Amino acid sequence: MSGWLLAIPILLACWFMHAYYKRAIRRVSALVPGLSARSRMSTWRSDVVLLVLWALAAAALVIAVMRPQMLLRMPDPQLERQDLVLVLDRSASMHAQDVTPSRFLRAIAEMKTFLRHKPDAIERVGLVGFADSSVVLSHLTRDVDSLLFYLDWISEDAEPLYGTDMGAALATALDVARKDTSRNAKVYVILSDGEDHGAALTVQLDAMRLDGTRVYVIGIGSYGEAAIPFVQPDGTQVFLRDDDGKMLMTRFNESTLRRIADVTGARYYRSVTGAELSAAMNDIVRHEQKILGWKMDTQYRDLYRVGLAVAGVAVATLLLML
- 146 and 250 both lie in a single domain: yes
Q: Cα–Cα–Cα angle for 247, 248, 253, nearest 5°?
A: 145
- 141 and 211 both lie in a single domain: yes
Instruction: Characterize the bridge pairing of strands 237-239 and 229-231.
Output: antiparallel
- 140 and 189 both lie in a single domain: yes
**Domain enclosing residue 28, as ranges:** 2-68+303-321
- 144 and 267 both lie in a single domain: yes
- 86 and 60 both lie in a single domain: no
**φ, ψ of residue 296 in degrees (nearest 5):** -75, 120
- 103 and 126 both lie in a single domain: yes
pLDDT tens digits along 244-288: 888 888 989 999 999 999 999 999 999 998 888 989 999 999 888
What's the Cα-to-Cα distance from 43 to each of 40, 46, 49, 315, 320, rounded to whole Å? 9, 5, 10, 20, 16
Q: How far apart are CA 294 and CA 298, in angstroms?
A: 13
Report the CATH number that the domain containing residue 154 is assigned in CATH: 3.40.50.410
The number of domains in the chain is 2
- 103 and 240 both lie in a single domain: yes
- 194 and 235 both lie in a single domain: yes
Q: Percent of the chain at pLDDT above 70?
A: 78
- 62 and 93 both lie in a single domain: no
Q: How far apart are CA 171 and CA 140, in angstroms?
A: 16
pLDDT tens digits along 123-177: 999 999 999 999 999 999 999 999 999 999 999 887 888 889 999 999 999 999 9
pLDDT tens digits along 62-86: 777 777 777 777 666 566 789 999 9
- 125 and 269 both lie in a single domain: yes
pLDDT tens digits along 115-129: 999 988 899 999 999
- 32 and 144 both lie in a single domain: no
Q: Write the DSSP symbol of residue 83.
A: E
**What is residue 170's predicted lDDT score, i.e. its pLDDT?**
95
- 53 and 106 both lie in a single domain: no
